Amino acid sequence: MESKCVSTIRLCIADNIINNVIDEDSTPALWEKLEKLYLEKNLTTKLNLKRDLYMLKMEDGANLMEHLNVFKELLDQLGRVDIKVEEKDQTLLLLTSLSDSFEHMVTTVLYGKNTLQMGEIESALLSYEKTMRKVNNSGSAFVAYDQNRRGRNAVKGSSSRGRSKFKNCGKGVHCYSAKSGDT
């Protein structure tokens, strides 16, 4: 039973890590060695994990679900080194880590709430992303047309009548002059 357990743990370890624990034959010794190597609870590890959480920023166009997974993994790692982040701080850190495309959603979520619960925030964000993906994929765009044009010149005031005129001053540039003689 012991050898099966050690074998199972070794199968789950990445190739570049297995060399560090290949000489351990008992499950407790193997597990202790892995914890010592990769889960030290020293101040440096704690500070680096906190820094990673506080500096986390979602890139524009990135997948929200992947960002949530990275965020939750950092929280989980902090929990394993005995650092608990309160739920209200978790939600605020999550909202501030989002890309600028979520700015309106973040503003809406932050105002008018007495409490912020992680589950509600995640659900609202995922729903918002789904809606935005539908809008972006529909390809619809609004185009305004000048219906009063009726064959007139596109530049208003280009006729020779009246005091002020638009004159063509170069390639596609129109200059406005107060008198007909100025350019």
Residue 170: per-residue pLDDT: 53
**What pLDDT does 172 receive?**
54
DSSP code for 102: G
Domain ranges within the chain, ordered by starting residue: 2-38, 43-135
- What is residue 114's predicted lDDT score, i.e. its pLDDT? 79
> What is the model's pLDDT at position 20?
81
End-to-end, the C-alpha distance of the chain in Å comes to 95
- The per-residue pLDDT for 2 is 85
- Burial-class residue 72 by CB neighbours within 10 Å (0-12, 13-18, 19+): middle
What are the per-10-residue average pLDDT scores of the chain (183 residues)?
86 82 86 81 89 95 93 94 92 94 88 83 90 75 49 49 50 52 48
- What is the CB neighbour count within 10 angstroms for residue 49? 18
d(CA 109, CA 105): 6
